[in-house]
Amino acid sequence: MSDFAFDTVIHGGTIVTATDTYKADIGIRDGRIAAVAESLAGGTKRIDATGRLVMPGGIEGHAHIAQESSTKIMTADDYYTGSVSAAFGGNSSFIPFAAQHRGQSLDDVVAIYDERAAPNSVIDYSYHLIVSDPSPEVLEEQLPRAFARGITSFKVFMTYDLLNLGDGGMLDVLTVAKTHGALTMVHAENNDMVKWMNKRLAAKGLTAPKYHAISRPELAEEEAINRAVTLAKLVDAPLFVVHVSTEAGAAIIRRETQAGVKLFAETCPQYLALTREDLDRPGMEGAKFMCSPPVRDAQTQEALWRHIQAGTFMSVSSDHAPYRYDETGKLFNGADVPYPKIANGMPGIAMRLPWLFSEGVVKGRISANQFVALTSTNAAKVFGMARKGSIAPGFDADIAIWDPNETRVVSLDDQHDNMDYTPFEGLTVTGWPRTVLNRGELVVEERELVATRGRGRFVARDTVDLTGRPGYRAPELDPARNFGADIAP
Ligand code: DUC
Ligand code: ZN
Ligand code: ZN
């Protein structure tokens, strides 16, 4: 191979993957990594990465972009601002949700999100579906069609009246997912516990935003995670528990993963960075920190860090759910409404990686390799993006070049989203991505956006990789036990 065969050479940097840290150059041709070697000459473009860390671009596995909530409040970010913000935060691809509202066909949902994403995204994208209406047509025809198109994961809810599927609905969708090699993601909070808490709080007039954090008890998450995992075990289907916010929930994930259950889970920076005291602000300001499940306390933060260190979580995702602090978002239903009428969610897609690098790697809680696994490599594997998430010949040239020493105080200007606040405002963060490539093309160059709108491509994803996860056989559904009832999915 000629030295001059590369479109781009990144030279002089320190490569960090999920397993290794070493000095080498990277040669890129036709959007892929063509060579990794001690020294590479040539390249139509040469990028000097001296003193920098060269890591796989982040893969954001949990974001709400151009998505209406079940009560019809639209997120502030569309696929342009959402992808731009993601890229400034070191991500080279993302997988937002495409949400079904009851009565809608999944074919229509996918078509709507294609229209929203394709002309706008500056980075590669895919979707997780949100399934709220598992009718026979959805289960038997529409979901399999979506899987065949490479949308191989979907989220279901155990809470919210307009989304909650009930245990029977969960079993139905888990079974379809298992049959097609797809992955069910779950928002696990006990709906009736939350409604009961809401009723008690309302009766006493306790409706300020800070009571949101009280209304969704830790036990509601613990109970629902336990139930979701048990339902998945019954049908031996893979399950991904999103936004785990409690020590007890994480402990269930750890125990059942060790037992071989086909289980995956994530937590999010807000559960490590914020506490319920952040909701206790004058007037409605606490609404900015409302998300579900809610942020908890310092003891929980410590416990979640220990679970990150021990490998309980396969990823740390942003759960970017941007609702502005105005009448389009948080104050959609009025400037002085009870907390159940305020949209749940906060922005953070640009902060996920810098915050985790600073609090995790710089402060010595996790290695840089663990950081890469948690922010890119594991998501690529579990969500079926075979060509992404690492730096090696044959992989897409999805690369983030970081200055590990740059220290800045977080401000709204750094977010490049369509928001009017960031919950991370004022935090001091060390280590920032400066340049991001996606399939070899520069998206952000030295903190300047250089990508054109709509350059990102849809990624058709593979089925979930369950290597090393033997699963669980319920005796009553085990043909080998010969109970004479052959009904196992
Ligand atoms: N669940 C999410 O994943 N994000 C925002 C709100 C919610 O309930
Ligand atoms: Zn959720
Ligand atoms: Zn979410």
Q: 319 CB less than 6 Å from ligand 1?
A: yes
- Whether residue 344 has its Cβ less than 6 Å from ligand 1: yes
What is the residue with the minimal CA distance to atom 3 of ligand 1?
319
Task: Please say whether the beta carbons of 31 and 439 come within 8 A.
Answer: yes
Residue 458, Cβ density class (10 Å: 0-12 exposed, 13-18 middle, ≥19 buried): middle
Ligand 1 mutation pick, 68, 157, 243, 320, max ligand atoms within 8 A of CB: 243
Quote the pTM value: 0.97
Q: What are phi and psi of 29, to 5 degrees?
A: -140, 135
At the topology level, CATH places domain 57-376 in TIM Barrel (3.20.20)
> Which of 291, 330, 339 has most ligand 1 atoms within 8 Å of its beta carbon, as the pocket-test mutant?
291
Burial class (CB in 10 A: 0-12, 13-18, 19+), 103: exposed
- Ligand 2 centroid–CA 396 distance in Å is 30
- Closest C-alpha to ligand 1, atom 8: 292
Burial class (CB in 10 A: 0-12, 13-18, 19+), 166: exposed
Residue 8's nearest CA partner among 446, 376, 35, 84 is 35
Question: How buried is residue 452: exposed, middle or buried, by Cβ count under 10 Å (0-12/13-18/19+)?
Answer: exposed
Phi, then psi, of 314 in degrees rounded to 5 = -85, -20
* Cα 351 to Cα 408: distance, rounded to the nearest angstrom: 12
Q: What is the pLDDT of residue 305?
A: 98
Give, for all 489 residues of the chain, the pLDDT tens digit: 445 599 999 999 999 999 999 999 999 999 999 999 999 999 999 999 999 999 999 999 999 999 998 888 999 999 999 999 999 999 999 999 999 999 999 999 999 999 999 999 999 999 999 999 999 999 999 999 999 999 999 999 999 999 999 999 999 999 999 999 999 999 999 999 999 999 999 999 999 999 999 999 999 999 999 999 999 999 999 999 999 999 999 999 999 999 999 999 999 999 999 999 999 999 999 999 999 999 999 999 999 999 999 999 999 999 999 999 999 999 999 999 999 999 999 999 999 999 999 999 999 999 999 999 999 999 999 999 999 999 999 999 999 999 999 999 999 999 999 999 999 999 999 999 999 999 999 999 999 999 999 999 999 999 998 999 999 999 988 888 877 777 788
Return the domain boundaries, the chain. 57-376
Q: How far apart are CA 459 and CA 153, in angstroms?
A: 13
State phi, psi for 323 to the nearest 5 degrees.
-120, 120
Distance CA 48, CA 41 (A): 12
Contact predicate 128/117, CB 8 Å: no
Mutate to test the pocket of ligand 1, among 68, 131, 187 (most ligand atoms within 8 A of CB): 187
**Are the C-beta atoms of 422 and 415 separated by less than 8 Å?**
yes
CA of 344: how far to CAs of 53, 213, 267, 347, in Å?
35, 11, 17, 11
How far, in Å, are 82, 181, 203, 443 from residue 448 at the CA level? Answer: 16, 40, 52, 8
Give the pLDDT confidence score for residue 481 in this predicted structure.
80
pLDDT tens digits, 451-464: 999 999 999 999 99
Closest by CA to 352, choosing from 376, 369, 330, 387, is 376
User: Within its chain, how far is the Cα of 384 from the centroid?
Assistant: 14
DSSP string for residues in 34-71: EEEES-----SEEEE-TT-EEEEPEEEEEE--S-B-TT
pLDDT in tens, 428-479: 999 999 999 999 999 999 999 999 999 999 999 999 989 999 999 999 888 8
Distance CA 472, CA 479 (A): 13
Which amino acid appears at position 76 of this protein?
A
Half-sphere exposure of 405 (CA within 13 A, CB side): 3
Please give the pLDDT value at position 486.
78
150 exposure class (CB count in 10 Å sphere: 0-12, 13-18, 19+): middle
SS3 176: helix
Closest Cα partner for 193 from 158, 165, 162?
158
How many angstroms separate the CA atoms of 54 and 57, rounded?
A: 9
Cα(346) to centroid(ligand 3), Å: 9
Nearest CA to ligand 1 atom 5: 345
Tell me, what's the pLDDT at 4? Answer: 58
Distances (CA, A) of 202 to 52, 221, 296, 420: 53, 21, 21, 29
**Cβ of 75 below 6 Å from ligand 1:** no
